[in-house]
Amino acid sequence: MNRDAALLDRARGVLLGAACGDALGAPYEFGTARLAPGQRPAMIGGGLGGFAPGEWTDDTAQTYAVAQAAAAHGDLREDAALDQVAHGFGRWFHGNPPDVGIQTRTVLRQVGPDARASELAGVARALHERTGHTAGNGSLMRTSPVALRHLDDPDALAEAAQAVSALTHGDPLAHEACVLWCLAIRQAVLTGELPDPRDGLDRLPEDRRDFWRERLDEAEAQEPASFRPNGFVVTALQAAWSAIAHTRAEGLVAGIEAAIHIGDDTDTVASIAGALLGAVHGASSIPERWRQDVHGWPGARAEHLMELADRAVAQRRRSPSATGRPA
C-alpha cells in the first residue's frame, strides 16, 4: 500500500471505526444486554433504542451529519458549514430517532429542523449558563470528522472542533475534550502511529493543561473499568484512552472490545475509542463481518462512511496551506 493509499485507509478507518464501535457497543448500553467477563461483544442489536443488529445509534448519526459537512466545505469553522451540520442534526432529530442523549435532546427539541448553527449554539450556551451542567459526552462522540477536514491545519482543527461541540454543549470541558481527541486522530491519520493525546495540550488554554494532563495520566495508570459511570465527557475520554492504552499491543478489535467491557455508556465509549483506533490501524483492519453489518441513519452503510472520509480528505487539496505534514 503506497503512502497516499495508506493515509486514505486510515482516514476511512476514523469513521468506520467510530461506527463499528457504536454498533458493537449499543446492545450493552447501561446493561441492557449482559456481557460476561471474557465474553466477546457482538452486533446483536437491541439496546436502549431497540436497534437492529449492526445498527448504529445517535453517536454515528450525528457523526454522519458532521462528516457530510466536512465533505462539502473547505472550512468547518465557516457559518455555511456549521449551518449544514445543524441542519443535519435537525433532520435526524425531528425524524424521531429511538434514542437521543439527554443534553443533545434538550437543545434540539427547542429548535426546528432547519435551525441555523447560531441558534443551536445560543440555546446550548443559555442552558449552560442556567444549569452549569452541560459537559456530557455527546459532542465528543461525533467530532472525529473535523480531524479529516483539517488534517493540515491543527489550529483550524482546534477551532472547528470547539465550534461543532458548542452546537449542543456549552461547557468548555466538552470543547477541550473534542480538541484533544481530534488532534490525536489527526496525528494518527498522518503518521499511522498511536499518538499521545498530551501532544495537543498546547492548543488548550494554559490554565487547563495541567487538568487534562492529570486526567490522561489517571487513564493510563488505572484499569479501564475504573472509568464508570462515563456519561461525563472527562470520564468518557479517560475510559476510551484507558481502553486503548491498556491494549495498545493488541490492535483495533481488542481496544474496542475493552472499551465496551468497561460498561455504562458502552456505545459512546467504544465509538470514541473506535475513531482513534481506526485512525491508527485503518479501515482495512476492521473485521469484514463488522463492515458488512454496520448501518444506520440516514440509510447508510460502511461504503457511505468511507466515501465521506474520501471526500473530506480531498478537501485538503483545495487548501493553499496544505503541507501533508504533522504540525
The model's pLDDT over 205-245, given as tens digits with 9 standing for 90+, comes to: 999 999 999 999 999 999 999 999 999 999 999 999 999 99
Residue 77 has pLDDT above 70, yes or no: yes
CATH code of the region 3-31+53-318: 1.10.4080.10
Residue 316 has pLDDT above 90, yes or no: no
Residue ranges covered by each domain of the chain: 3-31+53-318
In 10 A of CB 194, how many CB atoms? 18
* Confidence at 1, pLDDT banded by 50, 70, 90: confident
Residues in the chain: 327
> In this structure, what DSSP letter does residue 132 have?
S
pLDDT at 317: 57
Cell of 70: 466536512
H helical segments located in the chain: 3-25, 58-72, 79-93, 102-108, 117-131, 144-149, 154-165, 172-191, 209-221, 233-245, 252-261, 266-281, 288-293, 302-314
Q: What does the alpha-carbon distance between residue 111 and residue 268 come to, in Å, rounded to a whole number? A: 24
The model's pLDDT over 266-306, given as tens digits with 9 standing for 90+, comes to: 999 999 999 999 999 999 999 999 999 999 999 999 999 99
Evaluate if pTM is beyond 0.85. yes
Q: What does the alpha-carbon distance between residue 61 and residue 195 come to, in Å, rounded to a whole number? A: 26
| Better pLDDT: 327 or 214 | 214
* Confidence at 3, pLDDT banded by 50, 70, 90: confident
